[in-house]
Structure formats: structure tokens, C-alpha cells
């Protein structure tokens, strides 16, 4: 039995591979769970360090999730769903819940850095794992950029409320919207990179402080916003029908990406088998409760029609309710800090996924090289951060959100399938957490993911198709031949 507190040495013999596994094509070439776990923490030139507690893992998940939907996307979802945006948040949360249960089981069973990429590698083969990993690159990388774009708006609100100046529009807007570059978005990604390069434990401490600040800021909004609550704003609860609610639910799923960030810390957690499932479930419950409360108060304080075509934000609502700018400015500061924590935590997850893919030979070795001094994938962190910063600086928010959601939903759907497959192929494997009711919840998780994908627009599907095609070209030209499993077959 594996010791929960430390990964086995990389030299430990793996379990016998299934007969003929080495002769499978890329589609069926699977990596045994024992090999995945045995390699835990090992990178090119060094090892990741086990330094994260359950509290820190929970804060990573909350940090990667909480704030995105409320501070950035709420203003776009309310015109689609009306006051029923609270139901849309619950639909998105329910979708995330079923998938979170599957993540919790697999994170406790296969506690490695690759998250769903590694889970599918062990259950569905290398090609499917590559597709999943490619989706995760879209999910994490693009969401970092999307959240960073929203950060600049609140930074301007804070600067305007304190010193009466704002960053010029040409330097805070993407070229497609008339600007030169979104400098604040670029800046926050580079700041997150600096913290990540210091080490996992150090960046986790910074993230914990920022998460506490963001929860305090949202609690302040709930308290102040409730003073301006008008029940009449809920008189027409679902003005745009169920279609609007489900459409907003698909859009708001973007608000929940990141709860799986703790699973990317599988090789840096002190006791991953015990702590990862707990951190994933606890973070999702906290985030969902806060989302629904804040959305309910926001619509109660501001009629839903005021959100359409307006620069809607929680700070603007607080200013309107109180008749002064102090609380709005204070909330804007909280948003600046909280959205920065999303960037930090999601960027962390992206680097760890690429670390795992690099170790398997599917992406260049630079992403898996570990700095001996800090125990972090230094080169990978710099490459990913620069790419995300440039993306945030030139691409508008709206185009990023839906692209992120579809990649996330696809990866989550695969995780639900992976649970069922591993239950069937390895029924006797030790599991620190099991999804209740057998295959039912994973099936529901898969169904919710597919349903929400169908609610996204044609342009999003086209962009997703182009991204997948590019990924397959890269795999067949590079990854398939350089895969460690492929080279072992020769």
C-alpha cells in the first residue's frame, strides 16, 4: 500500500502491464496507474516538492474559481437569463458537482500533476489523453488570459475612486476593440509568474491571503447590497424563458473552471490521497454558495434590465445602493486582489499539466525541467506566462470565455468516463473516495457536460474544432513518435 504522505521512488517497479499493451497503437497505448504514481514529482533535472496542506489545496481551488463568474461574467449572464441567473448558476454548479465527484475519486486514486490528462492516459489510451491534455491547455491557458482581461476593468475602477485617474483606453483595451494593448491584463499575468517562480509553498501562501480578501469583499457586497434589495426586481423571474436560463448556465460554467486546480497539485500535496478529494469538494461547495448569494443580491439591488448594455459590476451596484463611491472603490480593490488570485492559481495548474505531458514525451522537455533551488518547472512557467500575457493583451474577453468553457466541458466529460472505465478495469484498486451510486453520477456528469456544450454558439464550436485539429496535427507529427511509451516499444 502506498504511503499517503510521499510518492514512491521513481525506480520502484511498476505493476505488470496488460498483455500486449506495448504493442497497442497510440489509440490504445495506456500508461499503468502504478507507473503514473511511481513517477510522481520526478521531472527533468529535479523533483517537485510535497509541501501543500489540505487547507492550501482548498485555497488553490477556491483561488482558481471564485471571482471569475461574479466579478467578470455576471454582467454578461444577467441579460441572457434575467433574475433567473441564480438558477443558471445552480445549473452550472450542478454540472460541476457531478464532475467534481469524479475528479475527487480519481485525484485520490491517481494523485499526480496531470489531472484529467493523466486519468485518461491510464484508462482510455494515449490519443484520448492527448486530446484531453490539449483541451486542458485551452481551459487553463485561455482562462488565465480571459480573467486577466477582466482584472483591468476593476483596476481602473479602483484607480478612479482613489486618485481620480485611469489607465488610458488605448493601453487598457485589446486591438480588436480599438486599443493598442491591454496592458493591465498583461501585467497581472507577469506578476503571477513572479510568485510562481518563487516556489509552490510560497505562491500558495500568497494565494491564501488573496482568497481571504476576496471572500471578505464578497461578504461586504452581500451585506451592503442587501440594504438596496427590492423584491419587485424578481416579479418577472424568468423573462427570457428556460432557453435563456440554460444558455446563461452554459456561459456561467466558465465561473466554475478551476475547482479541479487542486488535482494538478497531486505531486506537491503532503497527503494527496486524503486531502485532494476533500479540497475539491469543499472548494466547490463554498464557491457555489457564494455565487448564488451574490447573484441573488445583485439582481435584487439592480433591476436585471440595467445590466444589458451597461458597464455592470458589483462596484457599480454598491455605488448605486449607497449613493457614494467609498464602498464601490473598496470592492474594486477586493476584485483586483481576488481576480489576481484566479490568474495565479489557474496559471499554476497550467504549468503542472504541461509538466506531466512533458514527462510523458508528448510536449517538449522544456516544460518538464524542474529548478533544483525552488522545486518548480521554471522554464515551463516562463513560457506559459509569456504566452498567456500576450494573449490577454490582444484578445477581447467575450471571445475567450466561450472557448474556455467548451474545452473545459470536454475534459470534464472524459473524466466522468474515466471513472467508469477504471471501476471496471481495476475494481480492487484502493480508493480514498468513491463517487456514490455507482455509474449514475458519472453518467449524469457526462450528460450535463454534453448538454452545456450544445448550448454554446456555432462560432465557439468552429474555434474548438480548429483548436482540436491543430492539436491532432501536433500529436501525429511530434507527440506520437516522441512519447515515452512509443520509444519504449522500439
What's the confidence (pLDDT) of residue 401?
A: 63
Q: Strand 42-43 and strand 46-47: pairing? A: antiparallel
**What whole-number percentage of the chain has pLDDT above 70?**
88
Residue 64 has pLDDT above 70, yes or no: yes
Angle at 358 between CA 357 and CA 364, to 5 degrees: 130
Q: Which of 151-155, 226-230, 295-299, 426-430 has the lowest mean pLDDT?
A: 151-155
Residue 15 has pLDDT above 50, yes or no: no
134, 57 Cβ separation under 8 angstroms: no
Q: Which residue has the cell 447573484?
A: 295
Name the CA dihedral angle for 150, 155, 156, 161, rounded to a multiple of 10 degrees. Answer: 140
User: Can you tell me the mean pLDDT for 445-456?
Assistant: 85
Q: What's the full length of the chain, in residues?
A: 490
Cα 145 from chain centre: 12
Phi-psi region of 370 (alpha: psi -120 to 50; beta: other; left: phi over 0): beta
Q: Which residue has the cell 489576481?
A: 340
Q: Which of 43-57, 84-98, 373-387 has the lowest mean pLDDT?
A: 43-57
What's the confidence (pLDDT) of residue 419?
A: 93
User: Can you tell me the mean pLDDT for 76-80?
Assistant: 86
**What whole-number percentage of the chain has pLDDT above 90?**
10
Question: pTM value?
Answer: 0.80
Q: Which of 127-131, 225-229, 263-267 has the lowest mean pLDDT?
A: 263-267
pLDDT band at residue 27 under the 50/70/90 scheme: low
Instruction: Name the average pLDDT for the chain.
Output: 81
Superfamily of domain 31-159+191-489: Amino acid/polyamine transporter I (1.20.1740.10)
Name the residue ranges covered by the structural domains of the chain.
31-159+191-489
389, burial (CB in 10 Å: exposed 0-12, middle 13-18, buried 19+):
buried
Greater confidence, 38 or 55? 55
pLDDT band at residue 253 under the 50/70/90 scheme: confident
User: Can you tell me the mean pLDDT for 125-149?
Assistant: 84
Q: Which long-range contacts (CB under 8 A, 24 or more apart) does 43-46 make?
A: 43/355, 43/358, 43/359, 43/368, 43/369, 43/370, 43/377, 44/358, 44/359, 44/365, 44/368, 44/369, 44/370, 45/369, 45/370, 45/372, 46/369, 46/370, 46/371, 46/372, 46/375
C-alpha cell at 449: 457536460
User: Can you tell me the mean pLDDT for 457-482?
Assistant: 87
pLDDT band at residue 5 under the 50/70/90 scheme: very low
What's the confidence (pLDDT) of residue 3?
A: 40
What's the confidence (pLDDT) of residue 43?
A: 56
Residue 7 has pLDDT above 60, yes or no: no
Residue 56 has pLDDT above 80, yes or no: yes
Residue 17 has pLDDT above 70, yes or no: no
What's the confidence (pLDDT) of residue 23?
A: 40
Q: Which residue has the cell 486582489?
A: 337
Condensed to tens digits (0 to 9), the pLDDT of residues 385-443 reads 998 888 888 876 555 566 677 888 888 899 999 999 999 888 888 888 899 888 899 99
pLDDT band at residue 72 under the 50/70/90 scheme: low
What's the confidence (pLDDT) of residue 293?
A: 92
What's the confidence (pLDDT) of residue 402?
A: 65
330, 148 Cβ separation under 8 angstroms: no
CB within 8 Å of 468: residues ≥ 6 apart: 131, 134
C-alpha cell at 269: 500535496
User: Can you tell me the mean pLDDT for 165-185?
Assistant: 80
Residue 18 has pLDDT above 50, yes or no: no
User: Can you tell me the mean pLDDT for 89-102?
Assistant: 87
222, 314 Cβ separation under 8 angstroms: no
What's the confidence (pLDDT) of residue 20?
A: 38
Residue 92 has pLDDT above 80, yes or no: yes
- How many of the other CB atoms lie within 10 Å of CB of 235? 10
315, 331 Cβ separation under 8 angstroms: yes
Condensed to tens digits (0 to 9), the pLDDT of residues 109-133 reads 888 877 888 889 888 888 999 999 9
184, 172 Cβ separation under 8 angstroms: yes
What's the confidence (pLDDT) of residue 260?
A: 78
User: Can you tell me the mean pLDDT for 175-199?
Assistant: 85
Amino acid at each position: 500500500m502506498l504511503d499517503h504522505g510521499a510518492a514512491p521512488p521513481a525506480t520502484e517497479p511498476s505493476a505488470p502491464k496488460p498483455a500486449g499493451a506495448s504493442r497497442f497503437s497510440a489509440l490504445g497505448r495506456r500508461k499503468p496507474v502504478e507507473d503514473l504514481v511511481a513517477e510522481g514529482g520526478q521531472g527533468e533535472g529535479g523533483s517537485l516538492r510535497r509541501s501543500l496542506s489540505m487547507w492550501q489545496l482548498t485555497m488553490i481551488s477556491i483561488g482558481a474559481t471564485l471571482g471569475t463568474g461574479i466579478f467578470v461574467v455576471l454582467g454578461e449572464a444577467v441579460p441572457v437569463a434575467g433574475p433567473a441567473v441564480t438558477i443558471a448558476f445552480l445549473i452550472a454548479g450542478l454540472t460541476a458537482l457531478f464532475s467534481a465527484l469524479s475528479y475527487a475519486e480519481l485525484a485520490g486514486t491517481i494523485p499526480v500533476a496531470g489531472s484529467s490528462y493523466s486519468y485518461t492516459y491510464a484508462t482510455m489510451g494515449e490519443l484520448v489523453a492527448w486530446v484531453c491534455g490539449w483541451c486542458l491547455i485551452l481551459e487553463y491557458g485561455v482562462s488565465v488570459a480571459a480573467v486577466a482581461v477582466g482584472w483591468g476593468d476593476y483596476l481602473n475602477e479602483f484607480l478612479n475612486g482613489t486618485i481620480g485617474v485611469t489607465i488610458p483606453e488605448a493601453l487598457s483595451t485589446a486591438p480588436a476593440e480599438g486599443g493598442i494593448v491591454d496592458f493591465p491584463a498583461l501585467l497581472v499575468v507577469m506578476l503571477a509568474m513572479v510568485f510562481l517562480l518563487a516556489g509552490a509553498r510560497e505562491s500558495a501562501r500568497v494565494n491564501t491571503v488573496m482568497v481571504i480578501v476576496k471572500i471578505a469583499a464578497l461578504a461586504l457586497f452581500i451585506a451592503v447590497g442587501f440594504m438596496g434589495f427590492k423584491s419587485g426586481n424578481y416579479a418577472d423571474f424568468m423573462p427570457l424563458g428556460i432557453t435563456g436560463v440554460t444558455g446563461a448556465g452554459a456561459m456561467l460554467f466558465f465561473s466554475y473552471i478551476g475547482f479541479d486546480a487542486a488535482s494538478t497539485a497531486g505531486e506537491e500535496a503532503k497527503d494527496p490521497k486524503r486531502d485532494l478529494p476533500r479540497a475539491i469538494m469543499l472548494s466547490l461547495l463554498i464557491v457555489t454558495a457564494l455565487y448564488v448569494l451574490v447573484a441573488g443580491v445583485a439582481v435584487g439591488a439592480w433591476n436585471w434590465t440595467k445590466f444589458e448594455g451597461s458597464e455592470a459590476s458589483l462596484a457599480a451596484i454598491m455605488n448605486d445602493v449607497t449613493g457614494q463611491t467609498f464602498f464601490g472603490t473598496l470592492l474594486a480593490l477586493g476584485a483586483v486582489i481576488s481576480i489576481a488570485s484566479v490568474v495565479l492559481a489557474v496559471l499554476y495548474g497550467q504549468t503542472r499539466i504541461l509538466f506531466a505531458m512533458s514527462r510523458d514525451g508528448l510536449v517538449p522537455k522544456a516544460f518538464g525541467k524542474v529548478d533544483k533551488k525552488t522545486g518548480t518547472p521554471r522554464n515551463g512557467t516562463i513560457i506559459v506566462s509569456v504566452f498567456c500575457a500576450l494573449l490577454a493583451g490582444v484578445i477581447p474577453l467575450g471571445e475567450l470565455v466561450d472557448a474556455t468553457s467548451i474545452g473545459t466541458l470536454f475534459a470534464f466529460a472524459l473524466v466522468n468516463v474515466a471513472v467508469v472505465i477504471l471501476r471496471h478495469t481495476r475494481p480492487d484498486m484502493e480508493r480514498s473516495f468513491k463517487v456514490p451510486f455507482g455509474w449514475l453520477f458519472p453518467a449524469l456528469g457526462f450528460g450535463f457536460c454534453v448538454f452545456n456544450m450544445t448550448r454554446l454558439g456555432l462560432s465557439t464550436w468552429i474555434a474548438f474544432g480548429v483548436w482540436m485539429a491543430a492539436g491532432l496535427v501536433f500529436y501525429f507529427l511530434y507527440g506520437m513518435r516522441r512519447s515515452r511509451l512509443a520509444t519504449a516499444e522500439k
